[in-house]
Structure 1
């Protein structure tokens, strides 16, 4: 590809490493950072090519910002470029979360730490509510024009919140509805390009990967390359899971974590908030690796660390490994850290496979309504599912075990929601302010 060699691999490595430590703000913030750095400042890739890659990643399950980094790294420096970019987007967050999870597991009962989490939990509920608004406003347009998407969102909300329908079945139902709707009612499911068109370039403006830069050979479809990448991905999935099953048995906690989070990775349409109900159903209700309160605490930690929000699964793995003593009572930290790393591996492996193997194939079908209509329906499901998650969080933080209402937690949640939705405050300042408020309430003997 013309110009690709002019981005030295060492320079790219330094950028992806730095990005892994500064990628706060969720997918929107992470994408904004990459756009500012790669398009506006470094000029490694043009606006049009950047948005084309982003639209592609938005069609895939998994964390779109991490996949976008993988895609651009792959486009510039082939397979190893994609692996480095995607891995460095995740690894700093994994190490930070392992440290924070250890502090939580070992010292979470300390009064001041409990006070901080008392304030953070309402902030997390407000963040989920913000996610409902953000995704809903983008997906659910005028109900008079696209009523079917509103109906799908409502049905998914009731299915999860009241009927306890497993998340995979809700997604499958939406995909079938979208496939049928794309054929018979295409106007209801024509979501468009997904992102605004690229800005008009200034005369003489050039990028290393420009609008007219030919697609490199490694990014064009090849059946042989596709088969090789799929085979390598299958081995990287089967070998560690097979070794665990062979040495510890299928019912072992680590084996069940590997299988469960493989399934979760394939259901993350719409981002981390969309798959959290499924993770909650499995990790909390079915396997009981952690409690509902711990799940909310884990989401709070995920919000305050760099990297994709789906990294909350590392917290789930750590607490599950800690409580289940996967390597024995004398190796609590080692077992928990191993479980966190294992869960992260099985969660992100499919994302790399989607980019490295499916990139050229899926890119060729982009804009085809037969392909995008089921994903549009799934995005509508995401709105309903996240709304059910918001309801669960608000009920959990404000309803005490004795049946009374925790008015202070409700006030903190309301203040956080106003700050996020009305004043457009940043995630980190809101969480810090709520944590301080919770600490003061606990130190004062309330809450």
Structure 2
């Protein structure tokens, strides 16, 4: 972040860019990150290649949804705290408004056959999308590292068996990789480097207050502090608490919420707004979204100035590699858990398989196109099976 570098654009231009990206940016975190590089680095020259790479590296190692964090960091580059705040808000706001509108329609018209038909098809295709995403994340992040694959398999198995997330296993995985790779001498300053990464765990205090809104904000803050890299990492966390523990939503409603995240542009994590709406209306939606995004916002703006200094430290890289492997394992496990609920008959099984096959064969195929196709199939098939 070179301060001598005067921006060649105004704050308003940046806000308008992120509003547009948040409104029309389909394709999940990796696609959104690619659009930012294409638009801001290559075409407009607003951001330097080195600033972009630094932002991407920080977004990958800090907790929080990848694309939202990169957007916050790019806002920080020239306009510091104000830029980070408005870029993050402009990016998240359009998709938040969309999921709230969908939440209202879902609550108001959820009993209607056409709405059930749409989610029947989309819910099944989401399983295929999640399976391919888990595969992509695993091959990209785990490589040939046996230790990381071991963590991946263990977390996938634990998620399938317990049907829930055990947050401490994520931290444990990070510490294990750090200890094995860096062989730290305890009592040295090496542990001090890891302390900043422990900050999000303050939010782990379990929601014990009977007030649902307080529970919502505490829970979603905890979830937001543990989304590494892909927004899909939040799905297993949400499932275990929202469905299994608190019984806020039924399994079908939860799958529909994940489907909503897939059909709206912007960050996948915005599904928390939809879930919050189903639990407690508009206040629930606002608190869930705020809880999810505040940890990633704070992690980015607090870490940005220090990142140049510490970002390349092997201890930090090892810790994050361990947590990432655990998160991907949990995603893979949650695909199995959620599939048991979503795949209810032969058409849904075929839809899930067809989705996975299409994404496997056509790497560039946009996910929303598949989701819309699945919705159309649902509209045709569901009434025939449930007349």
TM-score (norm 1): 0.78
Give the structure with the larger helix fraction.
Answer: 2
Match of residue 366 from structure 2: 426
Alpha-carbon distance in structure 2 between the residues aligned to 1:443 and 1:360 = 56
Alpha-carbon distance in structure 2 between the residues aligned to 1:429 and 1:158 = 32
1:69 and 1:86 in contact (8 A); partners too: yes
Structure 1 position 302, deviation (Å): 0.8
Match of residue 352 from structure 1: 297
RMSD, matched Cα:
2.1
Match of residue 410 from structure 1: 349
Structure 1 position 66, deviation (Å): 0.8
Match of residue 269 from structure 1: 228
SS of alignment partner, residue 64 of structure 2: coil
SS of alignment partner, residue 372 of structure 1: helix
Match of residue 335 from structure 2: 390
Match of residue 128 from structure 2: 126
Structure 1 position 165, deviation (Å): 6.0
Structure 1 position 341, deviation (Å): 0.6
Question: Which blocks of at least 5 consecutive residues in structure 1 are unaligned?
Answer: 186-225, 238-244, 322-335, 400-405
2:326 paired with 1:381: yes
Alpha-carbon distance in structure 1 between the residues aligned to 2:229 and 2:79 = 28
2:123 paired with 1:178: no
Alpha-carbon distance in structure 2 between the residues aligned to 1:357 and 1:379 = 21
2:156 and 2:334 in contact (8 A); partners too: no
- When Rg is computed on C-alpha atoms for both structures, the one with the higher figure is 1
Alpha-carbon distance in structure 2 between the residues aligned to 1:59 and 1:308 = 17
Match of residue 363 from structure 1: 308
Q: Deviations over 1:210-241 (max 9, x none)?
A: xxxxxxxxxxxxxxxx9xxx9xxx9xx9xxxx
Question: Which blocks of at least 5 consecutive residues in structure 2 are unaligned?
Answer: 185-195
Structure 1 position 371, deviation (Å): 0.9
Instruction: Summarize the alignment of residues 24-423 of structure 1 with structure 2, pairs less than 5 Å apart.
Output: 24-142=26-144, 146-164=145-163, 166-184=165-183, 250-321=209-280, 336-399=281-344, 406-423=345-362
SS of alignment partner, residue 141 of structure 1: coil
Structure 1 position 108, deviation (Å): 1.2
1:56 and 1:363 in contact (8 A); partners too: no
User: Runs of 4+ in structure 1 displaced over 2 angstroms?
Assistant: 1-6, 46-49, 163-167, 443-447
1:20 and 1:91 in contact (8 A); partners too: yes
SS of alignment partner, residue 264 of structure 2: coil
Match of residue 332 from structure 1: none
2:58 and 2:300 in contact (8 A); partners too: no
Mean alpha-carbon deviation: is it higher for 105-114 or for 264-273?
264-273
Structure 1 position 164, deviation (Å): 4.8
